[in-house]
Amino acid sequence: MLKVEKINVYYGAIHALKDVSLQVNEGEIVTLIGANGAGKSTLLKTLSGLLVPKTGTIMFMGKNIRGIGASTIVKSGLIHCPEGRRIFANMSVEENLELGAYLRKDREIKKDMDLIYSRFPRLKERKKQQAGTLSGGEQQMLAIGRALMGKPKLLLLDEPSMGLAPILVQEIFKIIQEINQSGTTVLLVEQNANQALKIAHRAYVLETGKIVLSGNASDLIASDDVKRAYLGA
């Protein structure tokens, strides 16, 4: 579904992604783990067209999407749920969800909104509430709900568990698994490597802009290098 080959991304003189290659197959949860500043958010921003690699290719659903622009990429079904949620604080929950569908022209928007309310009953109870007054966990659910309103084929999630209480972290990972089981492919960026590896099929480890390890999530979770560097062992 997604095939990234040898991309190089720069911020001015800073070489943030170095010959990064990765693949996500339809139906998978793939996780990208790595320390602060490794380049995880940069990779997601590049996939969604906010940054353009200097070299390399990004194929999505058989098409080269490098440089085609962020809104065309959203329309093709690759949707980014950014780090820090980025909800519209002065708008209601419902208006935020509607914005997630702003590029869609089909007639199923209302039906999808109902599906999101059934997946996140707390959002339904609060549909008229200003989004900025939601709790952190509710805001994360809204950010995921808004991304789902774009009808993703591939959902990019950047640090969905960040800043949440442990019980909510569990809930968010369960929700990600359910979203995947109902047919959405997921690329998940996480600092919580332990939880991410538990729900993922495959994983990549990014270190200072380079992929240094990849494989089945169950193999990586058992690897001494990963345990030492990312699982606090």
- Give contact residues for ligand ATP (rule: CB under 6 A): 11, 14, 16, 34, 36-42, 83, 191
Name which of 40 and 126 has its Cβ closer to ligand ATP: 40
Q: Residue 36 Cβ, how far from ligand ATP at the closest point, in Å? A: 4
Residue type, 62: G
Name which of 42 and 180 has its Cβ closer to ligand ATP: 42
**Nearest-CA neighbor of 34 among 227, 208, 223?**
208
Tokens (6 digits) for 163: 């800043």
Q: Which element (helix H / strand E) includes 189?
A: strand 185-190
Q: Is 111 left (phi over 0), alpha (psi -120 to 50) or beta?
A: alpha
Name which of 63 and 86 has its Cβ closer to ligand ATP: 86
Q: Which element (helix H / strand E) includes 5?
A: strand 2-11
Q: Which element (helix H / strand E) includes 96?
A: helix 93-100
Q: Residue 169 Cβ, how far from ligand ATP at the closest point, in Å? A: 16
Q: Residue 192 Cβ, how far from ligand ATP at the closest point, in Å? A: 11
Name which of 162 and 168 has its Cβ closer to ligand ATP: 162
Tokens (6 digits) for 144: 């995921």
Q: Residue 207 Cβ, how far from ligand ATP at the closest point, in Å? A: 10
